[in-house]
A and B are shown apart, each in its own frame.
Chain A
Amino acid sequence: MTETPKDEGYRILRTSGLTMRFGGVTAVDNVDFELRDGELRCLLGPNGAGKSTFFKCLTGQLVPTEGRVLLKEQPITGLNTHEIVNMGVGIKTQVPNVFDGISVYENVRLSARRKHTVRIARDVAEATIEKCGIRHLIRREVGQLAHGQRQLVELAMVLAASPDLILLDEPAAGMTGDERDRLAQLVLEAARSAAVIVVEHDMQFIRQIAKFVTVFNRGAIFREAMIDDIMRDRAVQEIYLGKQADAAA
């Protein structure tokens, strides 16, 4: 995947002039974004750059103030969340949205059940739980789990629906080193059968999975380039890594 994604043709996701304003604040500012089928894209950017708001516009949780979103070349702006999701989108939100009061198994099964019959949903749920390495938690109530484990449960819920476009908002947050390595494997594996966008701050994690990267700053696309170029880019370092260095100091 070394070619740049600028050729014409089918795009699983396309936004044009996407803008989201909250009162006087412009959280997403005139974003033109394209994602090819089966691409794995990392989204970088400091806190408040508009990455999560961008995701919410893609899933219909927010209706953009201006601009268009095309999913599989179909306009989805203004559709309800469940309608967009049923077109084949899965999202892991920044703060895990899981069913706290019920078991891990039931969480994942309810996700698989949307698409499959009872029997197949059961098998899919079990296989996905196994794949995500949370078999030992299968009967636990999700509300009792640690943050990293909840992240994996939510990821399993997303994967169980086998979407064509997967959005992952800070999936590695709160994870131990082992969990993060497993997550990287899962993301790479998922990217073989679906397009994936990952928002993440964890640079070690990014290095494990990233190829082509989009950098957000102040709601707009700041750079789009291969990860190595991004890492060398002084301007990116200033807005993003520089800030991290400041915060650490």
Chain B
Amino acid sequence: MEKPLTRDPGFWIMVGIGLALLVLGPIFIDMFTIMQITQYVVLSVFALSLAYIWGFGGILSFGQAAFFGLGAYTFAVSSISIGDTTLPLVLSFAIPAAFGVALGYFMFYGKLSDVYLGVVTMVVTLIFWKLANHTAGPEYSIAGVRLGGFNGIPSIPTINFPGQPDAWLDPAQLFRFFMAVLVVVYVVLRILIASDFGRISIGIRENETRAALLGYDIRRHKVIVFALGSGIAGLSGAMWATYQSFIDPNAFSMEMSAKALIWVMAGGVGTLLGPILGVIGLQWLTLKLGMMELLNSLVVLGAIMMVLVLALPKGLVPTVKSACLAGWALWRRGRGVSASAKKVTSDD
């Protein structure tokens, strides 16, 4: 637990895999697959936003899609009206984060309990979804960009090099850029979680009363965590918008919020790797099931979800980890290492 981040091999392995994919991916993998992986990368950033606030801040939000959609629309509107994508990317983080501060302020300073927090975040998402659907007329335009109601906003520009609006990234470059974003988000979150700020967040997750009784302002702490998660979700929304070059109100849908919850739950709450694996596994499965056209993919996913909750209630990564630790302990005992050594292993 107290091991510094720089001495954690898991951290370096993850960063190594990310950078290796970033550099070597477009060289060795065909372009169609790369574009497929790009989608997973974008959704992984989205999954990380919830993995952080839920797993490391104890905030269970049913409304991550609100920030995802807000980021996507922010990017769509600002990139079309500005004609350059650099500032819109920043805005797609900043505006959802600012909205996260406002919403978080009311929720956490109002001392909402967990259940009501879930309800409020869900309702906020529904409001955004409804609102976005009702912006069909020409009067609904921001900076000359029509929001388009349920038809959404088409022709969202591809990311360009900063200051060169005509120098668009090709698919390989886009993949590399998004992969870099994912690695940076992962590294920043890991550093944050390992810092004292992050450890206090974990303390708040474990026991709010004690955190307050130690003199920590849990409300302010939670607002910061929530806003950071909101900003990251917004950024992933922007990545999604430019990847698809199109955005519609379904970015705000309950399905988007639910997917994030499912990825994090399946992969393991309290890890960052798990939710990424959740994205890859479940999105890949959805794709395959969709191609089979045999069963409704949502029904199958629902069934898988139920099995996961029953069989791996802690999620994939924590289960595998404790199984490995138990196996390691057994192996050591088998080799005649004393029982006390085994105890140390299981104590980690």
| Residues of A near any B CB (own CB < 8 A) | 59, 61, 80-82, 85-86, 90-91, 93, 97-103, 105-106, 110-111, 113-115, 118, 139-141, 154, 157, 161
Contacts and interface: CB of A to CB of B under 8 A. Distances in A.
A15 B166 CA distance: 72
A82 B199 contact: no
Contact of B206 (A59, A80, A99, A114): A99
A99 B200 CA distance: 10
Contact of A101 (B206, B213, B214): B206
A91 B202 contact: no
30 contacts: A61-B209, A80-B212, A82-B216, A82-B218, A85-B212, A85-B213, A85-B214, A85-B215, A86-B215, A91-B213, A97-B207, A97-B213, A99-B206, A99-B207, A101-B202, A102-B1, A102-B199, A106-B1, A106-B199, A110-B196, A110-B203, A110-B214, A113-B196, A113-B200, A114-B216, A115-B215, A139-B347, A139-B348, A157-B214, A161-B214
A140 B343 CA distance: 10
B3 to A, nearest CB: 11
A82 B217 contact: yes
Most A C-beta atoms less than 10 A away, residue of B199, B200, B212, B217: B212
B8 interface: no
A81 B1 contact: no
B112 to A, nearest CB: 16
A114 B214 contact: yes
Interface string B209-231: 11111111110000000000000
Interface in B109-139: none
B30 interface: no
Contacts of B203: 99, 102, 110
Contacts of B216: 82, 114
B293 interface: no
Given A82-B217, A102-B203, A97 B2 contact: no
Interface of B: 1-2, 196, 199-200, 202-203, 205-207, 209-218, 344, 347-348
Given A97-B213, A101-B206, 13 more contacts: A59-B213, A82-B212, A82-B216, A97-B210, A102-B203, A103-B2, A106-B2, A113-B196, A113-B200, A114-B216, A115-B215, A139-B344, A157-B210
Contacts of A157: 210, 214
Contacts of A99: 202-203, 206-207, 210-211
Contacts of A90: 213
Contacts of B207: 97-100
Contacts of A82: 212, 215-218
A110 B199 contact: yes
Contacts of B217: 80, 82
B169 to A, nearest CB: 41
A199 to B, nearest CB: 16
Contacts of B213: 59, 81, 85, 90-91, 93, 97
Closest 4 CB pairs of A and B: A99-B206, A97-B210, A85-B215, A81-B212
Contacts of B200: 110, 113
Given A110-B199, A113-B196, A141-B347, A102 B206 contact: yes
A102 B1 CA distance: 7
A161 B215 contact: yes
Most A C-beta atoms less than 10 A away, residue of B199, B205, B214: B214
Nearest to B208: A97
B189 to A, nearest CB: 18
A128 to B, nearest CB: 13
Contacts of A141: 347
A100 B1 contact: no
Contacts of A106: 1-2, 199
A35 B203 CA distance: 32
Contacts of B210: 97-99, 154, 157
A118 B196 contact: yes
Most A C-beta atoms less than 10 A away, residue of B2, B206, B215: B215
Nearest to A100: B206
